Structure 1
């Protein structure tokens, strides 16, 4: 991939150059942006400026993003819980704690490394870093995922997700007692304005997001809910549930700062089922993954305490 040059027009008076560029390029961290600026990769009206330069509305800003350095992604003999597999797709139950695909600083131990060892043939649409990956789950979210073994399957599955004909259902244990039986949460999601490692409901530069939830069981201080996604934004369920005052139990980013009282690493969120149309046979298929042991144990404790 060649280096990329981008042009923008400053739209806020007095905004720092690095803050503006981070807002324009939400996939890049502010630290990364600052390194590019320090290297002279950012110019304002044709002149290199520092990160703290205060922009004037209407100024032309350019940013040159260097080409990514190639990284060898190697197959690794990592056990997989395979729910279904044929010549076109593979469906797995991803464990909590596993990163889906390599990213900065994480180039081994991912689901992609495991799939490359297990399958040998994966679609190449997402490039060398994310072969076969049609959708993703957060590192500490477990459950059903599908990967494509060829480009035709990848294109078809991606279209199903885009048009919402592929349906995903999640189970989550959230903090607090949700009084409603069900509800719909709407709120555009984008990068948090001050913490670039988090997402948030934002009014500018966010992407539309809709989450449907339904209460399954109540346990006084906790509620087991089913969540159905209309959209698939980063951290969507976690951000939306936190926005209504019911963050996912154990969530290190969006949950309470106090220590989680249960034995679980990460958020109590599980991709329970995925329904899709097979990209070749056109058969409608539904795949289900049982709750992981840690979530099942938490529910056992809660049921023993509250279901008397």
Structure 2
């Protein structure tokens, strides 16, 4: 039945909710509105006409780090989604850039080349010309020439010293998640069912150690989904306040990747054309009483 198929594929809503949506006329089957649950086959086309919803408030202001008329790099605030998803459509960086460009009468709209997590702040690269976006996208791939460093507040990382970087090369893997079906996470090494795995590499350097945790600089070249959060969780030292990735490679079944609470900042960026950029983390980056001291260090 259609309700069972939708509940299986889109686990954010149980079968009875999908059945209610079908009966209210929200779902179309092969272009025809439905009033009751029906059987479906592999060749059927299903559409969901989702009613309008109120999107959560977001920070909608940012500073421009670089703009040459084609490439635009901003300091994205924590809490701003880059692309639609997770209940956000208009309250996203991509939508705000389009709206601002139209208001200014610009002929080309800056569009994101990559995607920082909603609660990751820092350097977000956009480009106006399709050719530029394609070239920059190539550089952001694992085999590309883009180099990025992040600042992260993590639980104390065992074995990490200021004078000795730590390289992490464990895979990020897709694990079962009750709300999403599958989610990227650390390798549990316990026989848990996995769907995919991707090679990833992170290099960690300790900047500051205190009672609350470690301030770590992380250099990445692979850019896998949630890579830094996952690699620190793999080490048993997840980001401070991370609601999803827990110690001992566990995943919180009640949380999703878009939930906030962690502190992660895209700090520096180097592109193949020699462009090197950096931006300072905002005032809310450091936890608690560390705020002033950490801001001075950064």
Give TM class, smaller chain: 0.5 to 0.7
In 2, Cα distance between the equivalents of 1:140 and 1:77? 11
Partner of residue 273, structure 1: 268
Contact 1:273–1:286 (CA under 8 A) maintained in structure 2 = yes
In 1, Cα distance between the equivalents of 2:138 and 2:130? 12
Contact 1:116–1:122 (CA under 8 A) maintained in structure 2 = no
RMSD: 3.9
Instruction: Between 196-205 and 177-186, report the one with greater CA deviation.
Output: 196-205
Contact 2:122–2:266 (CA under 8 A) maintained in structure 1 = yes
Distance apart, 1:186 and its partner CA:
2.2
Partner of residue 3, structure 1: none
Distance apart, 1:194 and its partner CA:
3.0
Contact 2:263–2:286 (CA under 8 A) maintained in structure 1 = no
**Of the candidates 277, 287, 293, which is equivalent to residue 287 of structure 1?**
277
Relative to the length of structure 2, the TM-score reads 0.67
Q: How many residues align?
A: 244
| 1:291–1:165 Cα change, 3 Å | same
In 1, Cα distance between the equivalents of 2:50 and 2:270? 35
Written as runs of structure 1 = structure 2, the 5 A alignment for 1:223-302 is 223-255=214-246, 266-277=261-272, 283-296=273-286, 298=288, 300=290
Gaps of at least 5 residues in structure 1 are: 1-16, 23-27, 42-47, 51-60, 125-130, 258-264, 278-282
- Are 1:170 and 2:150 matched, yes or no? yes
- Are 1:153 and 2:127 matched, yes or no? no
Relative to the length of structure 1, the TM-score reads 0.66
Per-residue deviation, residues 76-114 of structure 1 (Å, max 9, x unmatched) = 994331111122110000001111111252112211122
Distance apart, 1:221 and its partner CA:
4.4
Gaps of at least 5 residues in structure 2 are: 30-37, 53-57, 188-193, 253-259
Distance apart, 1:134 and its partner CA:
1.3
**Of the candidates 178, 185, 192, which is equivalent to residue 175 of structure 2?**
192
Contact 2:65–2:73 (CA under 8 A) maintained in structure 1 = yes
Partner of residue 44, structure 1: none
